[in-house]
Amino acid sequence: MDKQAGIDIGGISFNWDLEKGEFLFEQQDAVLFWVSSAMKSFFDTIEEVSGVEASNLVFEATGFRQGIVVGEYFQNMKNVSVTEAVGLITNTYSSAGWGLAKVENLNIEEKTFTAKFKNSWEYKINKAQEKSVGGKYMPAHYAGIFSGLLNENMWYEVVKDQIQGHEFTEVKYFPSTITVNHNIGQLARKTEMDEILHLEAVVEDKVRDLTELVQELSSPIIPVLDGIVVVPLIGKYDEDRSEALLEKTLTNLPSHKAKYVVLDLTGLNENISQHTASFIEKIGSASTLIGVTTILVGISPQLSIIITQSNVQLSNFDCFQTLQHGIHYALAQMGRRII
């Protein structure tokens, strides 16, 4: 068995050196892989690790940048026109197992052309993956080749896709400001924005949970004795918190079979607002409408002055200095007392 061998096909040279473990394609180191098994596994792994969106960008960016190298190589060849270079490129790629490629309608002045690909290795991989949309490596690769060949940043638009049942994949190419760096930046910003939105949603959920917990802890409804419920008001009440407590109180009073609700104002912020003072009157009046008598307790001298200055009328409610006094009064009204 020969340790060294070489062959020339269509003007393209292939050489093997088994002692060195080398395979040369046009005198350059090359490797061979089974497309629908080994290469498919390679692509599958990248997608599994990176996700489909990121892996598509990886293949697109890699294809484009490798194409730049090829385009610049052929551009630097002496006495070879762009048209001749195109023929050499497609012939070289065909001999290397990249499938059939044709470049049509090449306009060197406007730097536009159409490429048709058939049975490329990427198509074979995508078919083995049972994909419905072709990959971006091949289209981007030729955009890179002609960017290097024409000294113009080129981009592409896929018109037909072989993976979707067409005879070939047809791609239009044109000068563009779109670059792989731009696309990478866009994906990075999208990923960052998705993460920010996710974190905002998590924070919003936590804030909502904490708000509900604070409302439960700061405005409890306490059934102290049969027919008597105590509602301590703590801190400062804005519109949302006031409405939540009003709804909670009116909803729960009937279930406790309450006849008296004692509003304990001891824990109210002394910087009471007009809104809070109005809220006290509102919750008392609303309780009366469902047959529950309201008693106010814990009104300090400072708080009484503030309430008076707010022009809110609380004279319709019985008021006591301490919670104990209010509970004893409610019991007495029901003909009961604590022994």
Q: Does domain 33-178 have CATH number 1.20.1250.20?
A: no
How far apart (Å, rounded) are the C-alpha atoms in residues 134 and 161?
Answer: 6
Summarize the confidence of residues 251-277 as an average pLDDT.
Answer: 83
Q: How many CB atoms lie within 10 A of CB 178?
A: 15
- In degrees and rounded to multiples of 5, residue 338 shows phi and psi of -90, 125
260 - beta bridge partners? Answer: 228, 293
In the chain, alpha helices (H): 40-50, 52-75, 82-95, 121-128, 137-150, 180-218, 239-252, 274-289, 301-309, 323-333
Q: What is the pLDDT of residues 138-169, one digit of tens each?
A: 999 999 999 999 999 999 999 999 999 999 99
Q: How many CB atoms lie within 10 A of CB 193?
A: 10
**Sole residue written with tokens 């484009």:** 64
Question: Which 8-state DSSP code applies to residue 208?
Answer: H
How far apart (Å, rounded) are the C-alpha atoms in residues 23 and 313?
Answer: 98
Nearest to 230 by CA among 312, 329, 313, 310: 329
Classify burial at 31, counting beta carbons within 10 Å of its beta carbon; exposed 0-12, middle 13-18, buried 19 or more.
exposed
How far apart (Å, rounded) are the C-alpha atoms in residues 315 and 139?
Answer: 83
Residue 20: pLDDT band with limits 50, 70, 90: confident
How far apart (Å, rounded) are the C-alpha atoms in residues 170 and 168?
Answer: 6
Nearest to 261 by CA among 310, 289, 296: 296
Q: Which residues contact 51 (CB under 8 A, 6 or more apart)?
A: none
Q: What is the pLDDT of residues 298-322, one digit of tens each?
A: 887 777 777 777 777 777 889 998 9
Q: Which residues contact 58 (CB under 8 A, 6 or more apart)?
A: 46, 50
- In degrees and rounded to multiples of 5, residue 61 shows phi and psi of -65, -40
28 - beta bridge partners? Answer: 25
Nearest to 97 by CA among 164, 31, 147: 31
CATH class, range 219-333: alpha beta
Would you state the pLDDT for residue 204? Answer: 83
Would you state the pLDDT for residue 218? Answer: 59
User: What SS3 state is found at 339?
Assistant: coil
Give yes or no for residue 187 having a pLDDT over 60. no
Asked if 261 contacts 295 with a C-beta cutoff of 8 angstroms, the reply is yes
Give, in degrees to the nearest 5, the angle at Cα 214 between 212 and 218.
125
Q: What is the pLDDT of residues 35-78, one digit of tens each?
A: 888 889 988 998 888 888 888 888 999 999 999 999 998 888 87
Locate the domains of the chain by residue range. Answer: 1-31, 33-178, 219-333
Q: How many CB atoms lie within 10 A of CB 49?
A: 9
Give yes or no for residue 182 having a pLDDT over 80. no
